[in-house]
Copies of this chain bind each other. A is one copy, B any other.
């Protein structure tokens, strides 16, 4: 993946920029931290290391970053915000099923703590450039494909409701207090540093774990549901491109991949890329899953392409191949709790 700096040269540089990454010990956050360090930024991290989430200290073990272990609404985060040029608010709870078994926890982690964070932000760093990670889950079941930003937001689970509230709070602050905030609705993301051991963080980490360990990939229904999958490096590219371009201020962008695949195709691709005895089975939907499933989904990322010049560049097969290589090198991700 080319550096965003070479794609869209701007006057803004990451060299020496003070950046705060929330959820910086998690999957996407830690990949962003590694990239920011490589680009010469000074990086601060806050992460609550919430049980069952993607955060793990080992994701930043090779760096000099000393993370603050706290919720993003903790008053101590105000100190990390002071002097920040850029803020990447990537903390959140991502499990759809957990959001239904403990709705209040999801509302707390995806909306209430973000409200506290925004209050800290507008006092401590009102001029910072802010990028917030939202999700395509806010749309719910697609009534038309591909889904652009004008598609109605009708979430099917508490996670989608709470993430939408978190996103809209960011937009309210952008307008009410003239803050430089952009929110990105991310599609299904895969790549290095994802916690693979959980069944609750999306289908991609489960498929990757089973492909590497030789288990059986269960497809609910007939496996024909389609998804666009995004390599985490593409997400990092998008976040940096947005942070360095004022065109996105006050905007919400889809961040997805132009090419979609059926879950059956993705499973079969993973089996081809591994030499383990992994198999695929088709199984009826468990009822509690089916009621919050969204069928096929395909993001339309035309708006961010037009306004910021970002477009996903990682082919799924290439991305999965390098991802599998990463996890062969760091097998503890397969069993990390």
Contacts and interface: CB of A to CB of B under 8 A. Distances in A.
A200 interface: no
Interface string A148-179: 00101111111011101100110110011000
A215 interface: no
A60 interface: no
Interface of A: 100, 103-104, 107-108, 111-112, 115-116, 118-119, 150, 152-158, 160-162, 164-165, 168-169, 171-172, 175-176, 288, 291-292
Nearest to A151: B152
A162 B118 CA distance: 15
Contact of A168 (B108, B155, B172, B176): B155
Nearest to A111: B107
How many copies the complex holds: the figure is 2
Given A104-B115, A111-B107, A291-B175, A161 B155 contact: no
Given A156-B175, A164-B165, 14 more contacts: A103-B118, A104-B115, A104-B116, A107-B107, A107-B111, A111-B111, A111-B165, A115-B158, A154-B168, A154-B171, A157-B172, A161-B172, A176-B291, A176-B292
Contacts of A157: 172, 176
Most central of A100, A118, A165 by chain B CB within 10 Å: A165
Contacts of A160: 168, 172
B161 A169 contact: yes
A172 B155 CA distance: 7
Give the interface SS of chain A, mostly helix, strand, loop or mixed: helix
Contacts of A107: 107, 111-112, 115, 165
8 contacts: A100-B176, A103-B119, A107-B111, A107-B115, A112-B112, A152-B153, A154-B171, A157-B172
Contacts of A155: 168, 172
A132 B315 CA distance: 46
A152 B107 CA distance: 22
Which of A103, A160, A162 counts the most B-chain CB atoms under 10 A from its CB?
Answer: A103
Q: Give the top 10 A-B pairs by smallest Cβ distance, nearest first.
A: A165-B165, A161-B168, A103-B115, A176-B291, A161-B165, A104-B115, A107-B112, A161-B169, A107-B115, A155-B168
Contacts of A168: 154-155, 160-161, 164
Contacts of A291: 175-176
A337 to B, nearest CB: 28
A172 B156 contact: yes
Contacts of A112: 104, 107-108, 112
